[in-house]
Amino acid sequence: MVLEKIERVQEYKAIITQEVLDRYGGVVRIWDTPCSAIDGGRVLDKITQPTEVLVLEEEKDIYGSLPQRAKVRYGGGKEGWVLYQMITKVDGDVHST
């Protein structure tokens, strides 16, 4: 049973940085649902280079306060879920991370 709350947010830009890729072995996995493989989630794609994304939704923790996962759109309309700590929010200019 999933207790986390999925919340539609005002879309904002974020980036998967080289630093994040380095921290996670050069790969950020994009999932079909905000679940792990243990809970039935499937990997749809793998990002292996810095990538701009648009955040569409956030899955909050059980208390509804902290984002745990983000639904992102990237690369010509692809969509999926990533762990929230794998993205960095940007304010207009991608280079100001």
pLDDT under 70 in the chain at which residues? 1-4, 92-97
Q: How many C-beta atoms surround the C-beta of residue 42 within 10 A?
A: 12
Cα angle value 90/91/94 (rounded, 5°): 55
pLDDT in tens, 3-25: 568 999 999 999 999 999 999 99
pTM equals: 0.87
Q: What is the pLDDT of residue 64?
A: 82
Q: Mind listing the domains of the chain with CATH numbers?
A: 5-89 (2.30.30.40)
Dist CA 91 CA 6 (whole Å): 23
